[in-house]
Copies of this chain bind each other. A is one copy, B any other.
Amino acid sequence: MRVVIAEDLALLRDGLIRLLEAHGMQVVEAVDNGPSLLRALLTHRPDVAVVDVRLPPDHTDEGLRTAIEARRQVPGLPVLILSQYVEQLYARELLAAQEGGVGYLLKERVSDVAQFVDAVRRVADGGTAMDPEVVHQLLSKRAHDEPLSRLTAREHEVLTLMAEGRTNAAIAARLSVTLKAVDKHVGNIFLKLGLPASEDDNRRVLAVLAYLEK
């Protein structure tokens, strides 16, 4: 079995080469950037490509985009994505393709190297190898249920000021309402963000974190 590897972290690239060769595969080329990956895939037409997403020069989704382009030119080229993140945009496109094996594993969730070697083989044979977390994120309706979108305009204003580190008194002064009104909004914010009272949780901070992650 002939493999092309794309991984910019030298230590991991070396390790992957050693691992796959130790399992009887031939790594015909190992590259560290998008353009080299495309050239290697078109040149070698490997049995499978193991591709990191965030490659130079962009360090964003170069690996994914290159894989899609290569499969456009070599229909059915088996590709196993190995990444730290779920990159939604191009992942859907790659995984929706009908032809050829595809896989998407998260580096940090590969707990056993035999699992990884199996995945490489399965994809090369035309199968799939999906990390459940990737599946979950791609299929989740979560984007549409964004907790912050449940807030009224006023609640959102209050949360914005909370996230600036203002006290409730300062927020009341700013919005020309009483403390009681702010209290009420804050309670509603916690409710709508799904933050129940708990001994362990400082809910104000959690609400601010939710706001900052939007």
Closest to A169 in B: B199
A212 at the interface (CB under 8 A from B): yes
Quick check: B111 and A10 within 8 Å, CB to CB? yes
- Considering only residues 22-47 of chain A, those with a C-beta below 8 Å from chain B are 22
A165 at the interface (CB under 8 A from B): yes
What's the nearest-Cβ distance from chain B to residue A133, in Å?
A: 15
A18: contacting residue among B9, B19, B202, CB under 8 A: B19
Closest to A8 in B: B108
A97 at the interface (CB under 8 A from B): no
Known A18-B18, A18-B19: A11·B166 in contact at CB below 8 Å: no
- Considering only residues 164-214 of chain A, those with a C-beta below 8 Å from chain B are 165-167, 169-170, 199-206, 208-209, 212
B contact residues around A22 at 8 Å (CB): 18
Quick check: B170 and A11 within 8 Å, CB to CB? no
- Considering only residues 41-97 of chain A, those with a C-beta below 8 Å from chain B are 82
Quick check: A19 and B15 within 8 Å, CB to CB? yes
Quick check: A167 and B18 within 8 Å, CB to CB? no
Looking at chain A's contact residues, the main secondary structure is helix
A145 at the interface (CB under 8 A from B): no
A1 at the interface (CB under 8 A from B): no
Within the assembled complex, what's the spacing in Å between the Cα atoms of A14 and B22?
Answer: 11
A139 at the interface (CB under 8 A from B): no
A16 at the interface (CB under 8 A from B): yes
Quick check: B12 and A11 within 8 Å, CB to CB? yes
Closest to A112 in B: B10
Quick check: B19 and A11 within 8 Å, CB to CB? yes
Closest to A198 in B: B167
Within the assembled complex, what's the spacing in Å between the Cα atoms of A16 and B113?
Answer: 13
A162 at the interface (CB under 8 A from B): yes
Quick check: B165 and A203 within 8 Å, CB to CB? yes
